[in-house]
Structure 1
Amino acid sequence: MTSTQPDAESVESTSTKRLEEEGEIAADYLEELLDIADLDGDIDIDIDHGRAAVEIVSEDPADRSLSRLAGPDGEVLDALQELTRLAVQAKTGERSRLMLDVAGYRSARRAELVAVAEEAIARVKESGEAVALDAMNPFERKVVHDAVASAGMSSDSDGVEPNRHVVIRPA
């Protein structure tokens, strides 16, 4: 008797293909946007932690024009990510969890947030008291939660958008 259940390898292959398709759709959408905005940039597509990851990078490291697509505090990048996710959803019919980065903004922000989390973790260990951080968007909170979990401690998100923040608790 043969099993009708797909094996783990074919499920992973299907998932990878779906994520690659998301990345390609996003890249096409973003290339059109760059053309309309008359901005130069290359698009890198990857799969990171089970998500399509797309980054717009500058061909010239000295060119800062792409930073406008990140905006102050990443608000423009967050909006552009949502629009790109909607473009992918319109083509695939499925909700996308695609992550978008522009000119290394998110990777630099991730490093800053890990440093903030490490400092707060040290304060919690020293004082034994919970520490509440400033309000953060979902991406930023996820980075902090991951850093806290890596340190063997616990954290929760508290509050309501736009004031939702992370609270780090003693282990």
Structure 2
Amino acid sequence: MTETSIPHAKQSLDEEETAPLAVDDADDTEADDDAEPTAGGREKKAAGESDLFRQSEIAADYVEGLLDILDYDGDIDELVAGGRPMVEVVGERLQNLVGQRGATLEALQELTRLAIFRQTGTPSRLLLDVGGYRATRRKELAAVAKNAVEKVKEHGEAVRLEPMSAFERKCVHDVVNAMPGVESESEGVEPNRRIIVRPAD
């Protein structure tokens, strides 16, 4: 058996979130990583997007192979949205591909990004979704963020949220930073990295 050396293409989780106040978080160039564009933001193929569409095609082929191995049925949609490649898997009984709080989905996304890297030699910002999990989770996190903001405004004290993934933190930061009088930052290290919401200076 021949062993193949796989280059390390995994991006830092902190490159996938926006935390304006945390000095160890991403710079502005990665602020949109893991942002989920709306349907209206989906773009047709245009000049300059061929590489992104190629990445989405590679990702779709990789995910289709995984579904075949696992004997799962699902429709795969490949597209480019918000300036990044996306693959969406839709079907019944796909919860095992999402896992607890999206842990399995995040792992599958990293594997798919690695598959793209192996073929193109370029790190990818692919966003993988299964069964609409990310849109549903985004709504849940918006409620968590708003609740935290209400507590901060009511009591005037910082609120520490539970540890979250980079995708989840990005969702919370987006909501908090859109509200006046409050600010957010991340603290800690993975897998216990969390957000603090506090009154704005």
Which TM class, normalised by the smaller chain length? Answer: 0.7 to 0.9
Between the aligned partners of 2:172 and 2:50, the Cα distance in structure 1 is: 30
Larger Rg: 1
Between the aligned partners of 1:105 and 1:141, the Cα distance in structure 2 is: 15
Unpaired runs of 5+ in structure 1? 1-11
Between the aligned partners of 2:176 and 2:107, the Cα distance in structure 1 is: 27
Partner residue of 1:33 out of 60, 66, 71: 66
- Taking structure 2 as the reference length, the TM-score comes to 0.72
Task: After TM superposition, give the deviation of residue 137 of structure 1 in Å.
Answer: 0.7
- 1:67 and 2:101 matched: no
The 3 A distance-change label for structure 1 pair 50 and 169 is farther
The 3 A distance-change label for structure 1 pair 13 and 151 is farther
After the TM superposition, list the runs of 4 or more consecutive aligned residues in structure 1 that deviate by more than 4 angstroms: none
The 3 A distance-change label for structure 1 pair 46 and 121 is farther
- Taking structure 1 as the reference length, the TM-score comes to 0.84
State, as a whole percentage, how many aligned pairs show the same letter: 55
User: RMSD of the alignment, in Å?
Assistant: 1.4
Task: After TM superposition, give the deviation of residue 17 of structure 1 in Å.
Answer: 2.1
The 3 A distance-change label for structure 1 pair 51 and 160 is same
Count of residues in correspondence between the two structures: 154
1:121-160 correspondence runs (5 A) = 121-152=149-180, 153-160=182-189
Unpaired runs of 5+ in structure 2? 1-45
Task: After TM superposition, give the deviation of residue 133 of structure 1 in Å.
Answer: 0.4
- The corresponding residue for 1:54 is 87
- 1:111 and 2:151 matched: no
Between the aligned partners of 1:52 and 1:149, the Cα distance in structure 2 is: 26
- In structure 2, give the amino acid aligned to 1:49: G
Q: Could you say which structure has the higher helix fraction? A: 1
